[in-house]
Amino acid sequence: MRRLVEGQDAADAAIFRRAHEQLAGDDMSGARRSFFELIQKTPSSPLVPYAYLAFGDMFFADAEAGDPTKYALAAQAYAEVLKYPPPVNRAYAYAQHQRGIVARRQGDVQAALSSQRSAISALAQDREAPLRDVILAASRRELALAYADAGAPDKAVAFFEASDVEGAPGLVVALGREYAKRGAAREAIVLYEAALQRAKGSALCEAAASSYRALSATADASLRQVLTRAEAQRQSRCGP
């Protein structure tokens, strides 16, 4: 917080400090009043997007704690943060990531995918973003989860490569593991066969083998035959 308030006008910085002190003291009502005061009294302050971010995180926490009606309020607050683009707004990627989580919770898979892609894109352009590695890893994880909800495993590799060239191999593996966790054997097979046609590597080959083993353990006889053929195909490309 100190880095955010340095160099700001006394009024907005003082309100911002007070709000965070109230947060630290679990005075949520007081913090909300203070953040709202900052927005109302100093609307041109560069601290305004961080006040909206605090609202988003508070509403998100309430929703996760058992009040799903607060997801809509969290989404609105994160949307306000995104009206302030980087590099001035250093929370832009985080807000995109959080908005993507909210969208997935609300069942809007396309919005979830779009937000996580935007978060990853913003982080690719800002290598010095606060908590960059943490947010990037979280956005990639959420992107894979949202894609598992979206379907179209045959298009996943191309989608990930277009979204995040650097992270695409890991995203394929993460999606494959999610399919295995969900018992989605046919989706996993389509994904790995498409991926291994484009490229192969030890991580991808091992992930496919691991997913097929996990899926075979709970599959019926008919599906085990399908997985056996898929494993043979994998071995023809990767080796035993």
Q: What is the pLDDT of residue 8?
A: 52
Task: Say how far apart CA 134 and CA 58 lie, in whole Å.
Answer: 20
Output Rg (C-alpha) for the chain, integer angstroms: 22
Mean pLDDT by 10 residues, the chain (240 residues): 54 93 94 96 94 98 97 98 93 98 97 98 92 97 97 95 95 97 96 90 93 95 96 90
Give the pLDDT confidence score for residue 2 in this predicted structure: 46
| Contact between residue 211 and residue 188 where contact means Cβ atoms under 8 Å apart | yes
Q: Report whether 74 contacts 63 (CB < 8 A).
A: yes
State the pLDDT at residue 199.
79
Cα dihedral sign, 62-22-34-128: negative
Category of 2 on φ-ψ map: left (φ > 0), alpha (ψ -120 to 50) or beta: alpha
Buried b (16+ CB within 10 A) or exposed e, 26-57: eeeeebbebbebbbeebeebbbbbbbbbbbbb
Determine the pLDDT at residue 1. Answer: 46
What pLDDT sits at residue 9?
A: 60
Rounded CA-CA distance 194/233 in Å is 12
Output the pTM of the full model.
0.91
